[in-house]
Structure 1
Amino acid sequence: MIIDGHQHFWDPARADYPWMEAEELTPIRRAFGPADLAPLLKANGIDASILVQCRSALEETEEFLRIAQATPSVIGVVGWADLTDAALDETLDRLRAAPGGDRLVGIRHQVHDEADPDWLLREDVQRGLTAVFARGLTYDLLVRTRELPSAVATAQAFPQARFVLDHAAKPPIANGGSDEWTDRIAALAACGNVWCKISGLATEAVWTDWDAERLFPFVEHAAKCFGEDRLIFGSDWPVCLLAGSYGEIKGALEACLARLGPTVQEKAFGANAEAAYRLA
């Protein structure tokens, strides 16, 4: 099975997306749903996808679970829930009992938007993570270089849990990279319970001036750190449309991974996502 480990649906006419207000995001400020993605998956030989949260709202998580129930290609949902809520246990149980609740595979929060770089280490957040992991769910780390030290400490605090790093922590590709990102990614990879999504890289480059060759050093470093068993392909569609089409994004990452060997490429496009999210 070929899996897109990271894609989104949204409709700005029905909900607010604070991160989408910037003028340069106008091209993607419209509705995207299953009917838009289906032909792209077919054209690019993708069998299934993981649908990932876009806003901090339980209503979205519930909607995504209903979509997953009605959309065979959506085999997993990484939703949102308030990690600081004392009633998180009950909330997670309710989500899992809701229509499509069997597709809930993980939880995510926009940690890189929090003012505190150590937000993950707050006592109430760590208590919330305990509730997430008690239910066998994965936690997606949406962080940049700034928050990587707290991500490392969190992964170390829960050695039996499973974490997935989104977008390889958004390396500063447009600026040529940084030693800080390079070193901190390696430190996180040293935690054997963390997987890394090779996703969202083109939109960290110059949107109008990138190619597989420019992405390769960052993919190569991630592969060196995480190994062939912990890399996951993700399109980050439709955010990726800011930099290129679904096919262009998939093709570039496929080319990068192919240079690292057929086994690396094969596992990143399926088996590793299955392991990270315990997909049925």
Structure 2
Amino acid sequence: MVIDAHQHFWDPARADYPWMQAPELAPIRRAFGPDDLAPLLRANAVDASILVQCRCSIEETEEFLRLAAATPSVIGVVGWADLTDGAVGETLERLRGSPGGERLVGIRHQVHDEPDPNWLLRDDVQRGLAAVVSHDLTYDFLVRTREMPAVIATAQAFPQGRFVLDHAAKPPISAGFSREWADLLAALAACGNVWCKISGLATEARWNDWDAKRLLPFVAHAAKCFGEDRLIYGSDWPVCLLAGSYGGTKGALEECLMTLGPNVRDKAFGANARRAYLIPSSLSEKVARSAG
């Protein structure tokens, strides 16, 4: 099973997305839903996807779970919950019991938008992360290099937890290879409970001047750090459309991974996501039957 482990749905006419207001994001400032993604999955031989939060809204998480229940190809949802809320554990219980709740596989927050680079280490946030871990959910880190020391400390504080680093911590590809990013990525990979998504890399490059060759040093470093068992493919659709088509960005990452070896490619495009997010085999089989 080929899994796109990082995609989004949104509708700016129905909700506010503060991060989407920048002028250069105008091309994607419109509605994107399951009907837009379905033909792209079919055309690119992708069987299933994981739907990831876009805004800090419990209502969005509930909506995504309902969408997942009605969309067989959505094999999991990484939603949002307020980690600073002392009752976040009760919220997670309620989400699990809501329509589509069985597809809740993780929680995420836009950490890189917080003014404090150590936001993850706040006592209230750490208590919230403990609730996520105790509910056997994965936590996605949406960070840049600035927040990586706090990410490393958090992964070390919860050795029993599962964590996924989104977009390989957004390396500054357009500016060139960053030794600081590379060293921090290696330090994080030393925590055996963290997986790395090589998603969103094309949009960290120059949007009109990139190719697989430009991405390869960053993908290769991530693979060196995390190994073939902890590297995960994600499209970051529809954000990826700023830099290229769904097929173009997927093809570039596939080319990079195949350069590193067929095992690296095969595991990154499915098996590793299933392990990181604890996707049950029964659900994978259900998706396969619906596609067949």
TM-score range, shorter chain: over 0.9
Structure 2 residue 172 is the aligned partner of structure 1 residue 172: yes
- Measure, in 2, the Cα distance between the counterparts of 1:135 and 1:10: 27
Aligned equivalent of 1:100: 100
Aligned equivalent of 1:212: 212
Partner amino acid for 2:181? Answer: W
- Measure, in 1, the Cα distance between the counterparts of 2:178 and 2:234: 23
- Measure, in 1, the Cα distance between the counterparts of 2:254 and 2:212: 9
Aligned equivalent of 2:138: 138
The superposition leaves residues 161-188 of structure 1 with CA deviations (integer Å, 9 ceiling, x where unpaired) of 0000000000000000211101000000
Aligned equivalent of 2:69: 69
RMSD, aligned CA: 0.3
Query: Secondary structure, in 3 states, of the residue corresponding to 1:108?
Result: strand
Percent of aligned pairs with the same amino acid: 78
Q: 1:47: Cα distance to partner?
A: 0.1
Aligned equivalent of 1:189: 189
Aligned equivalent of 1:223: 223
Structure 2 residue 246 is the aligned partner of structure 1 residue 246: yes
- Superposed counterparts of 1:236-275, under 5 Å: 236-275=236-275
- Measure, in 1, the Cα distance between the counterparts of 2:160 and 2:202: 32
- Measure, in 1, the Cα distance between the counterparts of 2:164 and 2:177: 21
Aligned equivalent of 2:53: 53
Partner amino acid for 1:168? Answer: A
Query: Secondary structure, in 3 states, of the residue corresponding to 2:159?
Result: coil
Query: Secondary structure, in 3 states, of the residue corresponding to 1:223?
Result: helix
- Measure, in 2, the Cα distance between the counterparts of 1:217 and 1:89: 40
Aligned equivalent of 2:32: 32
Query: Secondary structure, in 3 states, of the residue corresponding to 2:139?
Result: strand
Structure 2 residue 112 is the aligned partner of structure 1 residue 117: no
Partner amino acid for 2:82? Answer: D
Partner amino acid for 1:267? Answer: K
- Measure, in 1, the Cα distance between the counterparts of 2:132 and 2:225: 26
TM-score, L = length of structure 2: 0.96
- Measure, in 1, the Cα distance between the counterparts of 2:49 and 2:81: 21
TM-score, L = length of structure 1: 1.00
Aligned equivalent of 1:21: 21
- Measure, in 2, the Cα distance between the counterparts of 1:17 and 1:193: 31
- Measure, in 2, the Cα distance between the counterparts of 1:127 and 1:177: 35
Q: Which runs of 5 or more structure 1 residues have no equivalent in the other structure?
A: none
Over 3 Å off, 4+ runs: none
| Number of residue pairs matched by the alignment | 280
Aligned equivalent of 2:162: 162
Q: Which runs of 5 or more structure 2 residues have no equivalent in the other structure?
A: 281-292
Q: 1:196: Cα distance to partner?
A: 0.1
Q: 1:113: Cα distance to partner?
A: 0.3
Aligned equivalent of 1:127: 127
Q: 1:232: Cα distance to partner?
A: 0.2
- Measure, in 2, the Cα distance between the counterparts of 1:195 and 1:243: 25
Query: Secondary structure, in 3 states, of the residue corresponding to 1:177?
Result: coil
Query: Secondary structure, in 3 states, of the residue corresponding to 2:164?
Result: strand
